[in-house]
Amino acid sequence: MKKINAIIINEKDNVATVLNSIKAGEIVICKHLSVYEEIPSVTDIPPYNKISRETINKDSLVMKYGEIIGKATENIPKGSLVSDKNIMSIPRSYDEEML
């Protein structure tokens, strides 16, 4: 059985949340429902932080929970820490998003 050390909340997400401290070079094993995904980490990642599931280009949207959580302020390589150091919040119109 694979030891899961990250979770993917929604299939649209381009980040996963790690469950424990990850060192650069470790393989992160993510799970979403019954699907497993392996991501080689390229940076250290503290517990409960985000790891990029794919390369996220500068100005691209960052998705978690199936929702936009920000925009990349620089290119973020696959397997990197995603944090307030490389993403920024973007204004949203919640009134327009309500059904």
Half-sphere exposure of 55 (CA within 13 A, CB side): 4
Give the pLDDT of residue 92. Answer: 74
CATH number of domain containing 84: 2.30.130.110
Task: Kindly report the backbone phi and psi dihedral angles of residue 31, in degrees, each rounded to the nearest multiple of 5, phi listed first.
Answer: -135, 135
Confidence of residue 34 (pLDDT cuts 50, 70, 90): confident
Residue 34 lies in a domain: yes
- The answer to whether residue 1 is domain-embedded is no
> Does residue 31 lie within any of the structural domains?
yes
Q: Domain for residue 43, yes or no? A: yes
Q: Is the pLDDT of residue 29 over 70?
A: yes
Mean pLDDT confidence for 57-66: 96
Number of domains in the chain: 1
CA-to-CA dists, residue 24 to 28, 58, 79, angstroms: 10, 22, 9
Instruction: Give per-residue pLDDT as tens, 75-89.
Output: 999 999 999 999 999
pTM confidence score: 0.89
The domain containing residue 78 runs over which residues? 6-92
